[in-house]
Structure 1
Amino acid sequence: MNNRKLVDTLLRSPAFHRGVQKVHKQIHQLQHGKPPEHYGGTNLEEPGRNGGVKSFIALFWEELKSGHRPDSKNKK
């Protein structure tokens, strides 16, 4: 076989493509870190809440109330 046929055979091989994908994934993880899914993902909903717009508004309102209280220690 000449070189062209060897390259064509290699490029058609599913095993070669899986190997390239695996190396690409490892390099990407080294550069950018592991994705959140690797650590179990992100779960922003609490068990008692059913999510949706109502839940978002309630959480937003709680944050506004707790995060924007005037601090009496810093007043002059």
Structure 2
Amino acid sequence: MIWIRVFEAWLVARLLRSPAFHRVVANIHGRLTGTRRVDYSEMGGTKIDGGAEESGFKKFVKIYAEELKETFRRR
């Protein structure tokens, strides 16, 4: 049972180190807030200034699905 948790922690750590994951998150954030894509690494990490407008769950799911499709098309 402990090996499953160790494996899960390894997978999460690998995902968070992935530049592709951060590009997807940045694209989704930009589309939800209506801002241009910003390279957060230049800002010193994931510091995001300003508040995001409230958007519906349906909008989030739609944008997330579109981003996943684009990601798989690029491969």
> TM-score under structure 2 normalisation?
0.38
> TM-score under structure 1 normalisation?
0.37
Higher relative contact order (CA closer than 8 Å, sequence separation 6+): 2
Bigger share in helix? 2
Which of the two has higher C-alpha Rg?
1
